[in-house]
A = this chain, B = another copy of it.
Amino acid sequence: MRLAVIGAGAVGRSVVELAGEYGHEVVAVADSSSAVVADGTGGTGGPGSDGRAGVDPDAVAARKAERGIVGDDDPADALAADYDVLVEATPTTLGDAEPGFSHVTTALERDRHAVLANKGPVAERFGDLRAAVDDSDGEIRFEATVGGAIPAVSTVEDIEPGHVTAVRGVLNGTANFILTRMAAEGLDYDHVLAEAQDLGVAEADPSFDVDGTDAALKCVILANVLSFGAVDDPTDAREFTLEDADVSGIRDVPGSALRLAAEDGRTVRLIGEATGEAVRVAPRLVPENGTLAVSGTQNIVQIETSHAGRLNISGRGAGGPETASAVLGDVGRLE
């Protein structure tokens, strides 16, 4: 498939780097201020170093590193390029979820597919997105928006949303790293947060992760999959946004709570849960050696089914190549 990759952060760059290995061709790459469109599709990009037509991944990486741009074309040129699948990998934005939402609907209006790594459009405007899909010959997929490399969305789709009663899990690696270290070292939140920031596991402003917003967005997306997937007529589905989520983070979890839990063979994890009716994220007590007590930056998703019991899927919940592999798995499902 011919891919236009919008967004040149860790995920976008990994998609550009790995696409050829999956038999796909990157015909355009854009960041917020620049773009490169492959020759023959109206741009200045040369053939790849592997001899394939399409954008040269190494040249994109080099320009991004040296000059802070991906190429000499305009971002609009990438959106107008001749692609089969638009990969939306710009940063997650809330509310109107722009500019990601418009990037995706532009692709759908052209009857092209879109694969999202950006949580905004599927968490905040799922109903608008479904409506745009209904008017298009293109489809959308968004495995990369939930749990990085973990196939949460496609597994729920295969089981069929009508036969899934709930999905819960540990969906934020930063919060999980902090809770794991607090329990292991008997340290307080502020101390471990500083350590996580030094290690690059936590952002300078960690709010999005430690307040539960990121985990809540993932659960909202799963709730939308469960709600819309269980009905024949989309107008019968309940749409969820971040506002519908009941969220508390880990800032107020005292080290003493973890010490008390440990004496009882338990520990604390930030658990998100989604059903077709509700979304909740909160620190919860779980068995110390239990399935939900994944360590460090690992994520886990538990899928409760009507006929097949409980499925547990754990793995790397973040990372450029990990998330890019979910994006490319989605592209494969569109073939």
Contact = CB atoms under 8 A, between A and B. Distances in A.
A177 to B, nearest CB: 15
B149 A332 contact: no
A151 B160 contact: no
A41 interface: no
A322 B310 contact: no
A31 to B, nearest CB: 22
B291 A289 contact: no
Contact of A316 (B159, B308, B313, B326): B308
25 contacts: A14-B307, A18-B307, A21-B163, A22-B160, A149-B309, A151-B151, A154-B158, A158-B333, A159-B329, A160-B329, A291-B314, A307-B322, A307-B324, A307-B325, A308-B315, A308-B322, A308-B326, A310-B315, A310-B316, A311-B314, A311-B315, A312-B312, A312-B313, A312-B315, A313-B313
Interface string A55-83: 00000000000000000000000000000
Contact of A159 (B159, B289, B308, B325): B325
A20 interface: no
A150 interface: yes
Contact of A311 (B154, B291, B311, B313): B313
Given A305-B149, A321-B307, A314 B315 contact: no
A305 to B, nearest CB: 7
Query: Top 9 nearest A-B pairs by Cβ distance?
Result: A149-B308, A289-B289, A308-B325, A311-B315, A307-B321, A309-B316, A308-B322, A158-B329, A312-B314
A51 to B, nearest CB: 18
